[in-house]
Amino acid sequence: FVVQPAGRKRVLKEKRKNVHAYIRGERVAVASFDGKSERITYNPYKHKSFVSVETGKPVYKKDIVSIDGRHILGQ
C-alpha cells in the first residue's frame, strides 16, 4: 500500500484529488481468503496512509488483497 506524500500534500493544498496512492503487488485472476478479511480505505483528507475501516489503524502490507470497485479487502 503506497501513498506518495507529495501527492497527498497537493490534494490538501488544492482541495482536488489526484492519483497519488496505489496498491502494489502481483495481479492474479482468483485469490482465496482463508481467514478473516479486513476492509481497507484511503481518504487523503483524513489519513496519511491506507487504514482499516474497523480499527482506523494504518495498513502498509497484506498478503492477499481484493479490489471490487471502491471496496478493498485485505488479509
Sheet arrangement for strand 51-52: 51-52, 38-41, 71-74, 65-68
- Looking up cell 495498513 gives 59
Task: Count the Cβ atoms, other than its own, within 10 Å of residue 11.
Answer: 15
Residue-range definition of the domain harbouring residue 59: 2-74
Q: What is the pLDDT along the chain (75 residues), one digit of tens a residue?
A: 999 999 999 999 999 999 999 999 999 988 888 888 999 999 999 999 999 999 999 999 999 999 999 999 999
What's the number of domains the chain is made of?
A: 1
